[in-house]
Amino acid sequence: MHDLINRWISRLFNRGPGRSRSRPLFALAGALVGMAAAIAVTGLWHLGATAQPSDAPVELTMLLHVPEAQQWRTIADRFEAENPDLRLKIIEGPSATNAIEDLHTAAFILGDSPYDLIYLDVAWVPKFAAAGWLMDLRDRLTPAQLAEYLPGDVAGGRYRDGLYRLPFRTDMGMLYYRKDLLAAAGLEPPETFMELIAASEQLQRSQGVDWGYLWQGKQYEGLSAMFAEVLAGFGGFWVDPETQAVGLDEPAAIAAVEFLQRTIASGISPPGTTTYTEPETLRLFRTGNSVFLRNWPYVWNEVNRPDSPIRGQVAIAPMVHAPGERSGACQGGWGLGINRATRHPEAAWRALEFFGRADVQKQFVLENSYVSSLRSLADDPDIQAAYPQYRTWVEILDNYAVLRPPVPQYAQASDILQRYLTAAFSGSMTPTDAMAAAARETRSLLGTA
Amino acid sequence: MPPSPSRSRTWPTVFLFLAPAIALLLLIYGYPIARSLGLSLMTQNLGTQLEPQFSGLGNYGRMVGDGRFWHTLGNTAVFTIAAVTIELVLGLAIALLLHRKFWGRGLVRTIAILPWALPTAVMAVGWAWIFNDQYGVVNDLLQRLHLISGPINWLGDPALAMVSLIVADVWKTTPFVSVLLLAGLQSIPDDLYEAHAIDGATPWQSFWAITLPLLMPQLAIAVLFRFAQSFGVFDLVQVMTGGGPAGSTETVSLYIYATVMRYLDFGYGAALTVVTFLLLVATVAIAIALLGRRGLRQL
């Protein structure tokens, strides 16, 4: 046997007269073709194994960040129960929303995104729509149906003339405060920035509270959202959507940065604020050692859990503002869009319709303290009983909503603002220089330099 | 070596056997580099509806005035030089320790390699909490030892954030260096040390006269590997600081990632990649040139 193989190999590679110059080449070519055939067969077999038979339930895939993925369990199960021919597979992603954005982007760039439904933050819509990754939904809804949603949320789903996102839930930034601490010191909830500082300082001195005002200052998207509110509170603006003018180097913006810088410098806010995102500030607030917290509606359920030390002691108010200006509440909010390259567009639309139904939204709101985008739920008696401040939330949004710039290059504009804000907070640049540089870079980004 | 009589007949066969490996290398290394080069001559971003448009050297011109790129290069250089230097010194010390015989040496060697084996992203989260200003272990220890009066904001201060990153990276990759150097130490024959001791040399003199020169090839390999790896560090920085306060810990790979993935500016990202690649190749080439031909042959 051994001998046979030896002879075969030596014949294959023996350079005899005439034919053998091309023998090794033939051998190599044969080997390569064989390898290619093996790979092709394996690939096709794998494809065949994963192809669904035509009568199997259609499976829709969606990517959600972990905290919300768990909250969606009940309504996802209800969706599958009411639609036996559809399945909803929720893939859990990181809790940082810019990581989810990157995952979606990577999947879309590869050209074969596995996600049929896209859970969209309001800030992503212009970028995803401009890149042509989302299905246009404008013909699927009548204006009457759209009017049932809060107008800010619907606007957040538009890009140019198309509608790419159906609102699911809305979000707005607000001020949480310890009503027991304020009452003990005989103070009213603050309405202006100066009142906030004064109340914090007084309570830190007299009641021995550790921290006055907690906010998110890390270099991430939440910083832009938080800053948009303070900016609006001083009467400033970031980017005007009509004229594309940049307002970051105006006096109002510089005053906003100086206010935030002052909270850290005077000890009202912890020095670590420049590393805090929402979970860190919530954790600090829950220990009971702080008076004020700027955060989103989900905090309400968290601080009122049975094991929370500050259960029942928390109230909410719109963010503070400068005298003569209005409060600002950064409009967040999430909605559902459809991947333009999905293999199941009709099934995906049915899912969107289901999750936009009033009873499904009501169930979701009652289980988690989120705010639905449907206007009618604000009048629902069950919701009012569970969340007495629900009306306040909707009012804050109606009156004080601040949108972040709805431009496709929003990610880069936000990065620019984040970098220069953290430079100002850490003291490596003065607020004036930092904001001037931020304005300059944003103008050259938008092409309005 | 005398030329083999059948050399003219074996070379094509040798080449044929090498061909699949060369093809694979070209595919994995050559194709992405060539594609990046091509893409860097195009403009492809949201402004062009993600369609490639030829723009020649426009991206490179833009890079010259891009302060953020040079800033990130500076950050990367600082990070790389500091981390690699500390790792070399520490790695050599650990390798010398592990080279001696002591009870439990096998167990200690296994434990010493653990940081290298653990996933970087997971440990980066751990390190971020270790350096947390309110709940972190470092602040707690320093305050208990009365070395500081109040908590230090490690990840919120531009300079200290870089220090934290370097500490985390040194912890992670020193085992790699120490294992490399340990292998080199074990190849040095003991008779050299005996002879040197008989001549009246102290261990310190033996170290400088015998160990270091004979360890040069492994030291060079360790430096080259670590330099190339450190230059491209991404996961540790992204998870620990995300580019840090005011972009003070943003390394080149983070900037390129943001340009391509977040801003969808593919052409410019490709140009950044090409320039970074060329800089890295140039640095390694200089290092090899400094090593000299003799050093290369020793490698």
Same domain, yes or no, for A323 and A387?
no
Q: For A122-191, list the strands marked E by DSSP.
A: 158-159, 162-163, 166-170, 174-178
**Predicted pLDDT of residue A391:** 87
**Predicted pLDDT of residue A30:** 81
Per-position DSSP letters for A11-36, written without gaps between them: HHH---TTGGGGHHHHHHHHHHHHHH
DSSP three-state, residue A187: coil
User: Residue-wise over B6-38: b if at least 16 C-beta within 10 A, else e?
Assistant: eeeeeeeeeeeeeeeeeeeeeeeeeeeeeebee
Q: What pairing do the DSSP bridges indicate for beta strands A58-65 and A86-93?
A: parallel
| Element holding A96 (H helix, E strand) | none
- Return the bridge partners of B53, or none: B43
User: Residue-wise over B62-100: b if at least 16 C-beta within 10 A, else e?
Assistant: bbeebebbeebbebbbebbebbbebbbebbbebbeebbe
Contact flag B246-A423 (C-beta cutoff 8 Å) = yes
CA distances from A173 to A244, A268, A330 (A): 24, 20, 5
The contact set of A with B (CB < 8 A) is: 13, 15, 24-25, 28, 31-32, 98, 101-102, 105-106, 109, 127, 130-132, 217-220, 270-275, 284, 408-409, 411-412, 415, 419-420, 422-423, 425-426, 428-429
The contact set of B with A (CB < 8 A) is: 9, 12-13, 16, 19-20, 46, 49-50, 132-134, 151, 153, 155-158, 242-248, 258, 261-264
A381: how many CB neighbours lie within 10 A of its CB?
A: 7
Q: Which of B14, B27, B46, B254 to probe the A interface (max A CBs under 10 A)?
A: B46
Same domain, yes or no, for A300 and A433?
yes
Q: Which of B138, B239, B264, B265 to probe the A interface (max A CBs under 10 A)?
A: B264
Instruction: Look at phi and psi of residue A324 and say left if phi exceeds 0, alpha if psi is from -120 to 50, else beta.
Output: left
Q: Is B180 within 8 Å of B218 (Cβ atoms)?
A: yes
CA distance A418 to chain B (A): 7
Say how far apart CA A71 and CA A74 lie, in whole Å. Answer: 7
Specify if A364 maps to a domain.
yes
Q: Which of B156, B158, B261 sits opposite A275 (nearest CB)?
A: B156
Four-CA torsion A144, A149, A150, A156, nearest 10 degrees? -100
**DSSP state, residue A294:** E
Same domain, yes or no, for A136 and A228?
no
Q: How many domains does chain A have?
A: 2
User: Residue-wise over A194-218: b if at least 16 C-beta within 10 A, else e?
Assistant: eebbebbebbbeeeebebbbbbbbb
Specify if A237 maps to a domain.
yes
Residue B295 binned pLDDT confidence (cut-offs 50, 70, 90):
low
Considering only CB atoms, which chain A residues are within 8 Å of B246? Answer: 219, 419-420, 422-423, 426, 428-429
Give the CATH fold of the B67-298 domain: MetI-like fold (1.10.3720)
Say how far apart CA A114 and CA A344 lie, in whole Å. Answer: 11
Q: Which of A33, A66, A426, A442 to probe the B interface (max B CBs under 10 A)?
A: A426
Q: Is A274 within 8 Å of A422 (Cβ atoms)?
A: yes
**Predicted pLDDT of residue B156:** 84
Contact flag B263-A412 (C-beta cutoff 8 Å) = yes
Say how far apart CA A32 and CA B156 lie, in whole Å. Answer: 56
User: Where exactly are the structural domains of chain B?
Assistant: 67-298
Specify if A16 maps to a domain.
no
Contact flag A32-B157 (C-beta cutoff 8 Å) = no
Specify if A221 maps to a domain.
yes
Q: Which of A22, A105, A261, A274 to probe the B interface (max B CBs under 10 A)?
A: A274
Q: What pairing do the DSSP bridges indicate for beta strands A174-178 and A290-295?
A: antiparallel
Same domain, yes or no, for A158 and A180?
no
Contact flag B246-A219 (C-beta cutoff 8 Å) = yes
Say how far apart CA A219 and CA A425 lie, in whole Å. Answer: 11
CA distance B135 to chain A (A): 10
Q: Which of A101, A408, A415 sits opposite B46 (nearest CB)?
A: A408
Q: Which of A13, A98, A426 sits opposite B13 (nearest CB)?
A: A13
The alpha carbon of A366 is separated from its chain's Cα centroid by a whole number of angstroms, namely: 22
Q: State the residue range of the domain holding A160.
A: 58-171+332-402
Nearest to B243 by CA among A218, A104, A445: A218
What does pTM read for this prediction?
Answer: 0.80
Read off the pLDDT of residues B6-51 as tens digits, 9 standing for 90 and up.
556 688 888 888 999 999 999 999 999 999 999 999 999 887 888 8
| B150 φ/ψ angles, rounded to the nearest 5 degrees | -130, 165
DSSP three-state, residue A327: coil
Same domain, yes or no, for A438 and A304?
yes
Provide the token pair at A187: 């103070």
Specify if A316 maps to a domain.
yes
Same domain, yes or no, for A87 and A119?
yes
| A101 φ/ψ angles, rounded to the nearest 5 degrees | -60, -45
Say how far apart CA B94 and CA B98 lie, in whole Å. Answer: 6
pLDDT averaged over 10-residue windows placed end to end, chain A, 449 residues: 68 58 73 82 70 74 91 94 93 86 91 91 92 92 90 87 93 93 92 94 90 92 94 94 91 96 93 88 92 92 91 93 93 93 93 93 89 90 88 87 89 92 90 94 82
**Predicted pLDDT of residue B153:** 87
**Predicted pLDDT of residue B9:** 67
**ipTM of predicted complex:** 0.74
CATH code of the domain containing A153 = 3.40.190.10
Read off the pLDDT of residues B159-197 as tens digits, 9 standing for 90 and up.
999 999 999 999 999 999 999 999 999 999 989 999 999
Say how far apart CA A227 and CA A215 lie, in whole Å. Answer: 10
CA distance B54 to chain A (A): 19
Read off the pLDDT of residues B211-242 as tens digits, 9 standing for 90 and up.
999 998 899 889 989 999 999 999 999 989 88
Specify if A283 maps to a domain.
yes
Same domain, yes or no, for A308 and A208?
yes
Four-CA torsion A74, A77, A82, A83, nearest 10 degrees? 140
Specify if A23 maps to a domain.
no
Q: Which of A409, A420, A423 sits opposite B263 (nearest CB)?
A: A409
Say how far apart CA A190 and CA A198 lie, in whole Å. Answer: 9
**Predicted pLDDT of residue A431:** 95
Same domain, yes or no, for A264 and A205?
yes
Q: Is B86 within 8 Å of B226 (Cβ atoms)?
A: no
Say how far apart CA A278 and CA A218 lie, in whole Å. Answer: 10
What letter represents residue A148's amino acid? E
Closest residue of chain A to B238, computed from CA coordinates: A99
Measured CA angle at A127 (ends A329, A132), to 5 deg: 140
B55: how many CB neighbours lie within 10 A of its CB?
A: 19
Say how far apart CA B93 and CA B102 lie, in whole Å. Answer: 16
Say how far apart CA A445 and CA A417 lie, in whole Å. Answer: 12
The alpha carbon of B14 is separated from its chain's Cα centroid by a whole number of angstroms, namely: 34
Considering only CB atoms, which chain B residues are within 8 Å of A420? Answer: 246
| Element holding B26 (H helix, E strand) | none
